[in-house]
Amino acid sequence: MNRNALWIWLPLGLGVVVMLLAPLALVSRPYIMHIAIVAYFYAILASSWALLAGYGGQFSFGHMAFMAIGAYTTGLFAKFVRLTTVPTGVCPEITVGSYTLFLLNPVTAGEPTCLDIAKATMPAGTLIYRPPIYVGILLGVLLGGVFGFLIGVLVLRLRQAYLALFTIGFSEILRVALNAEIAITDGPNGLELPPLFPKGVTIFGMYFDATSKIPPYYVMLFLFLGSMVFMHWLASSRYGLFFRSIREDEEAAAALGVNIVRYKVLLFVITSMIAAAAGAVEAHYIGVITPNILLILQMSLVIAMAVIGGMESLVGAAIGAILIEFALEFLRQNITIGPWTIDMTDWRLVFFGLLLMLTLRFQNNGLIYPIIQRLTRAGVTEEIAARRRLVPETVQEGEG
């Protein structure tokens, strides 16, 4: 057993150490840092989708919608909510202690907001604050959970294709609404967000300004590692078993006393919150969020990452996502084979689609998961063989 544990923990531990130390080597290459941050973002989405679909069998196409809910919540919070020391008297507001929390009214560009109107009458020395970024992110996560709960309850009865269609419908409606309500969301232009640390941040005596990539790198990395640890714990706990039993046979699981409603909804809430958190952090990091992230193409990217990595393995899905994000970025150069030059801007997604189909057809468990499996089972087969030699007369049961 020790040997197996070593085989799986050694590469994983090494991987984590590399990820933690990477900024030291990459400090002069912000572009690679950027891809790494985006890759972790996709890894969070792919692995949480793998938990939802691979473990729980809930084939949702609405994962990006929860991500967008997280991102837009914190974006709108940063855009419309302000704190002052003096009531404005014009904006919708509530007073909390010595502060007044108020909402700005949506206006078209160039017109004054209610704050601009109120400023004229405010006494000198009035302070106006933006509420802290993390409040918005937490709010986004919370709202992601609320929507996850609602959708989870609504889709209880729906399975497979019905569920897929319902979630596509949900995310399309959300996309169209975000696109059309320009006064609030800025429409296709995208909602601009302040950076994660607007005033910069000091860690261990080192100062990083708002544009530095190192703080967001670690924020995203810790979010990624944290959610991986949490999801891994969840999947290997009792709950994981329940999730899988629901996936395999709902009726049987219910008959055996698994509270299907509770676990299905719980699964939706948890994965939605993780997606919303990833979305909120990513949106602050990029600085802009557009409704186009809700296009089915983007969702299919996440699904493909999870599938190619291995849908039934959280780690597999995450590694798949990181590899594919890097591959898609670096495969943009033209490739010349003999007399033909292949323009990879056009063709990379073709190869990607082909890879997805072939993986599904010939490597049902994805490309990464079998390797992990192989590593963890390196000793198991020998062990089983040894046991079989010891007790040859036992009837061997089918291996699962």
Partner 1 sequence: MYLWLALLWIIGWGVVGAVLIPRVYARRDLDVSQAALAGAMVGAASGPFGLALLAYFTPRLDWKWVVVPGAATVAIFLTAFAATYPNNLCVSNSAFVLTQVVNGLVVGIIYGLMALGLTLIFSILGIVSFAHGEFYMLGGMFVYYLTQEWFPGLHPLAAVVVSAVLTFVIGALFEVLFLRPMNTGQVERPGEYAILVTFGLSFFLQYTTLALVGANPKKVPRYFDYPRLAIPGEEGSLLKVTPGTVRLFEEIVIPSPRVTAAVIALILLGLLMWFLYRTWIGKALRAVSQDRQAAAVTGINPNVMNTLAFGLGGMLAGLSGASLVQVFSWVPWVGTQAAARSFVIIVLGGMGSLPGAFVGGLIVGVVEALGAGCVPDPHRAAAYIPAYGMLILVLVLLLKPTGLFGREL
Partner 2 sequence: MKRVLWSVLLIVAILVAMVPMAVAAPARQGDAGFDYIVVKDDWLSKLALKYLGDVFAYPAIAYYTNQKAAEDPSYAKITDYDLIEIGWKIYIPSPEEAQAYFATRAQTLGVTEGETIKIGALAPLSAPGSVTGGQAMKAAFEIALEEINEAGGVLGKPVELILVDTEGLPERGTAAMERLITQEKVVGVVGEYHSAVGLTAKEVAHKYGIPIIFAETWNDNITASLYPEVFRIAPLSSEVANLDANFIQWLGAKKVVIMTENTGYGIPAAEQTTKKLEERGIEAVTFSADIGTQDFSGIIERIKAENPDLILVLLTGETSYNFEQQAAEAGIGPQDVMMICNQVADDSESFWKNVPDGNLCFYRKVGLPPVLWNEKTKAFAEKYMERTGKTGVESYAMEAYDSLWLMATAINNAGSTDPQAIIEALENIEYEGVLGTITFPYNSKNPPSEAGVEDKWWHQFPDFAAVFIQYQEPGQPSSEAPVVYPEKFQTAPPILP
Whole-number Å distance between alpha carbons of 201 and 187? 31
- Other Cβ atoms closer than 10 A to 176: 12
| Span from 69-77, 156-164, 229-237, 374-382 in contact with partner 1 (CB under 8 A) | 156-164
Contact between 169 and partner 1 (CB under 8 A)? yes
Residue 85 or residue 179: which is nearer to partner 2 going by CB? 179
Instruction: Copy the structure tokens of residue 265.
Output: 């909804």
Measured CA distances, 115 to 83, 91, 111, 132 (Å): 11, 7, 11, 19
Binding mask 43-82 for partner 1 (x = CB under 8 A): ----------x---x-x-----------------------
Q: How many residues make contact with partner 1 (CB under 8 A)?
A: 40
In the bound complex, what is the minimum distance in angstroms from residue 324's beta carbon to partner 2? 8
Least separation, in Å, of the C-beta of 252 and partner 2?
Answer: 29
Pick from 26, 356, 367, 368 the residue near partner 1 by CB under 8 A. 356
Q: Is 94 in the site for partner 1 (CB under 8 A)?
A: no
Closest CA to 284 of 216, 195, 185: 195
Site map (CB under 8 A) of partner 1, residues 253-292, x = contact:
----------------------------------------
176 interacts with partner 1 by CB under 8 A? yes
Report how many helices (DSSP H) and strands (DSSP E) the chain contains, helices first: 16, 10
Task: Kindly tell me which residue out of 173, 256, 288, 385 binds partner 1, with binding defined by CB under 8 A.
Answer: 173
Smallest separation, CB 366 to partner 1 (Å): 11
Per partner kind, with CB cut-offs from 5 to 8 A, the member of partner 2, partner 1, none near residue 119 is: none
**What is the rounded CA–CA span in Å between residue 45 and residue 39?**
10
Q: DSSP letter at 53?
A: I
- Distance CA(227)–CA(81), nearest Å, equals 29
Candidates 62, 67, 56, 60; CA nearest to 273 is 67
Which residues in the chain belong to E strands, given as ranges?
81-84, 93-96, 99-103, 128-129, 191-192, 201-203, 206-208, 288-289, 335-337, 340-342
336: which strand partners?
Answer: 341
Please report, as residue ranges, which positions from 318 to 347 form the binding site for partner 1 (by CB under 8 A).
Answer: 343, 346-347
Residue ranges binding partner 1 (CB under 8 A): 53, 57, 59, 154, 157-162, 164-166, 168-170, 172-173, 176-177, 179-180, 296, 300, 303-304, 307, 343, 346-347, 349-350, 352-354, 356-357, 360-361, 364
